[in-house]
Amino acid sequence: MIDKKNLWFLTLFSLVLVLSVYYVTMPNELLVTNNGNVETTTNNNDDKNEISVSITESDIISALKVEDENDTLEEINTLKETLTNTEESVDKKNEAYDKIKELNETSGKEENLENMLKEKYKYDVFVKIDGDQVRVVIGTKDHSTELANEIMRLVQEQFDNKMYISVQFQA
């Protein structure tokens, strides 16, 4: 008689077997993803593939956003470990909680500024707030000092304190 344990094993084994057969028999064209950003060329002389990658402005802005988000999540996870550690003092736990709260508020301000600038100027925007410094990266080829000054004034209006604002244009 087959018990539940053996039945589960046979079911999962057959599922893995079917998926592996499907993967092996799948055409190679389905395995290669081409989003238009990567061009692959093959030389007939060599069996090596040459890959050339073209990066657009929005890719740079997206990379900055992902890197910032990963750094923030990493720091929050470290602080959460401090909060859940039973051996830490109450003062350290309070400091960790306050730091998490501050990081969340800063992330919210950054997102609000990005949305405001994106709506007003119709460009991809990355904003990073670090203490009293604000870094704004605009995804455009136009290097206009008037636009940079407008952005700096608009960002400064959102803060009560004097902020040191830098505006970068990514071409």
The token pair at 67 is 């890197």
Q: Quote the DSSP letter at residue 32.
A: S
Ordered per-residue pLDDT tens for the chain, 171 residues: 678 888 888 888 888 888 888 777 877 666 555 444 444 444 455 445 556 555 554 678 888 888 989 999 999 899 888 888 888 888 998 998 999 999 999 999 999 999 999 998 888 899 999 988 999 998 887 788 888 899 999 999 999 999 999 998 886
Domain ranges for the chain: 4-53, 57-169
Looking at the whole model, is its pTM more than 0.85? no
The token pair at 44 is 């007939």
CATH superfamily of 57-169: Stage III sporulation protein AH-like (1.10.287.4300)
Q: Which residue has the tokens 């309070």?
A: 94
Whether 138 contacts 168, CB under 8 Å: yes
CA 95, CA 82: separation in Å to the nearest integer?
Answer: 10
The token pair at 14 is 């057959």
The token pair at 118 is 């994106």
